[in-house]
Amino acid sequence: MKPLQYGLVGVVLGLGGVALLSYTGARHEASTTAPGTATSGTISGASVKIGGPFELVDHTGRVVHESDFRGKFLLVYFGYTFCPDVCPTELQDISMALDILGPRASIVQPLFITIDPERDTPEIMADYVSHFHPSLLGLTGTPEQIDTAARAYRVYYARDAETLEAQDNYLMTHSSIIFLISKKGEYLTHFGVASGPEEIAAKVGPYL
């Protein structure tokens, strides 16, 4: 393994993210306690569906639907390219997990769905995903399309209150969860920020 094969962590921090790091880390909600967020199959004993239909635009400009991915397992992560720390780390973990899985990962489609569609155009997404696993697909869309996708996955996101006046340099608060979805489009499990690539690979592998 080449641990630094993927990722923008160093690059992004080098661009001035260090000052932001101390508090942005706390703005990634990795647990089931995030406001408006459910990451498990149940809330208070009631069954909650995770995942569902969406229509988005991939980083090549192609319109894609959730149903297009039937027959592949999905690793779905919501974040944004301007994120200074956790998002690139999570995408690096996904990339390295796919490397660990080797040829078996050919039936796994990793998806990076932006929760910041106003800045994350297909062009921006294309450049960003190129730093990670070659199979990683970046998805964006209209704010309404992103909202539909995020709601389907019970993902919370909002502009960070402390950077609301930062104009183009605002940050986003968002759930930081990697979802594993079955070939039939059904939620299987999820991973939080504490899960490294080895754990992700070990838990995804038996499903493949």
* Closer residue to Ni ion, CB minimum distance, 30 or 97: 30
Tokens (6 digits) for 57: 């635009």
* AA identity, residue 71: G
Residue 105 or 173 with smaller CB distance to Ni ion: 173
Cα–Cα distance between 121 and 21 in angstroms, integer? 24
Least distance in Å: CB of 29 to Ni ion?
10
Q: CB of 5 within 8 A of CB of 143?
A: no
Nearer to Ni ion (CB atom), residue 145 or residue 175:
175
Q: What is the nearest approach in angstroms of Ni ion to the Cβ of residue 80?
A: 6
83 counts as binding Ni ion under rule CB under 5 A: yes
- Contact letters for Ni ion, residues 51-80 (x by CB under 5 A): ----------------------------x-
How many residues touch Ni ion under the rule CB under 5 A: the total is: 4
Give whichever of 87 and 178 is closer to Ni ion, judged by the CB atom.
87
Q: Please list every residue from 85 through 144 that binds Ni ion, using CB under 5 A.
A: 86-87
Q: How many CB atoms lie within 10 A of CB 81?
A: 23
The residue of the chain with the least Cβ separation from Ni ion equals: 83
Long-range (24+ apart) CB contacts under 8 A made by 119-122 are 119/80, 119/81, 119/82, 119/168, 120/80, 120/81, 120/82, 122/57, 122/58, 122/59, 122/60, 122/61
The helix/strand/coil state of 33 is coil
Given the rule CB under 5 A, which residues bind Ni ion?
Answer: 79, 83, 86-87
